[in-house]
Structure 1
Amino acid sequence: MILGFTVVQVAVAGLAAVLCIVLGLAGRVPNDLTMGAVALIEILLIAQLVTALVAPAVGNSSSGSLLEFYTYLVSALLIPPAAAFWALIDRSRWATVILGAGCLTVAIMVYRMQQIWGS
């Protein structure tokens, strides 16, 4: 994994989490801003998947468990669509908080993936 890209992913996911949680607690239902933030996180995770597949071919191999790393990555890829699906069905302020919780979960998982890759 690339450390700079990991920092960007964690920062974006953290900011999206704060945004969604604050808007949800303020009573706002899911909207284009919150759903767009979750979509951006999913795009970054797809880019991370491509990077993780290409990195060993160019000499940046994992020193940790590849099974554990890819389990985290696939799980993280499933969280934003699941949260967005929930938000589209529920359409309440708590759905916006769930979007934030999903973003926070992804931030933590990406940080852990960086630890696994470099350990």
Structure 2
Amino acid sequence: MFAPLTWVLVGLSLAAAVYAVVLAARNKRIDWPVLGVLGVVEVLLVAQLVVGIVQLSGTDRDVSGPFFVGYLIGSLLILPIGAFWALAESSRWGAGALAIACLVIPILELRLHDLWAV
């Protein structure tokens, strides 16, 4: 895997999670800045999907292809689900749900890193 992309995704996701927690603590709904960061993260996740599949097809490593691609696709789905939930929920729990979704991305990224390093 392309390690710098992984760490950029982890950093941006954690920053968005912190911002979402601040919004939840202030009893505010999510706003455009956090949606913009999530958009950047989602574009980078698409790039990671493409890079990951290309690297998987050209490697002789003992990587479980279905698990690896499943984690790549799963990471693409988490943020849109969290964002739609946050937009639909008018209380602070919408931002809280988004914070949870943002925290799932670094976990998935670290698991992808572990799968690739085997």
Could you say whether these structures have the same fold, taking a TM-score greater than 0.5 normalized by the shorter chain as the test?
yes
Deviations 1:27-58 (A, max 9, x none): 1111101222222221111111111122245x
TM-score w.r.t. length of structure 2: 0.89
Deviations 1:3-33 (A, max 9, x none): 1111111111111111111221221111101
Moved beyond 4 Å, runs of 4+: 59-62
Q: Is the 8 A contact 1:14 1:107 kept in 2?
A: yes
Equivalent residue number for residue 27 of structure 1: 27
Equivalent residue number for residue 37 of structure 1: 37
Deviations 1:47-99 (A, max 9, x none): 11111122245x55553211111111111111111111112211322111111
Is 1:67 aligned with 2:72?
no
SS of structure 2 residue aligned to 1:91: coil
Distance in 2 between residues matched to 1:86 and 1:108, nearest whole Å: 20
Q: Is the 8 A contact 2:29 2:90 kept in 1?
A: yes
Matched AA of 1:90: E
Q: How many equivalent residue pairs?
A: 118
Q: What are structure 1's unaligned runs of at least 5 residues?
A: none
Q: Is the 8 A contact 1:21 1:101 kept in 2?
A: no
Equivalent residue number for residue 101 of structure 1: 100
Q: Is the 8 A contact 2:5 2:44 kept in 1?
A: no
Distance in 2 between residues matched to 1:24 and 1:108, nearest whole Å: 21
Equivalent residue number for residue 13 of structure 1: 13
Question: Relative contact order (C-alpha < 8 Å, sep 6+): which is higher?
Answer: 1
TM-score w.r.t. length of structure 1: 0.88
SS of structure 2 residue aligned to 1:55: helix
Q: Is the 8 A contact 1:63 1:116 kept in 2?
A: no
Equivalent residue number for residue 89 of structure 2: 90
Q: Is the 8 A contact 1:34 1:96 kept in 2?
A: no
Equivalent residue number for residue 3 of structure 2: 3
Matched AA of 2:25: L
Distance in 2 between residues matched to 1:64 and 1:87, nearest whole Å: 35
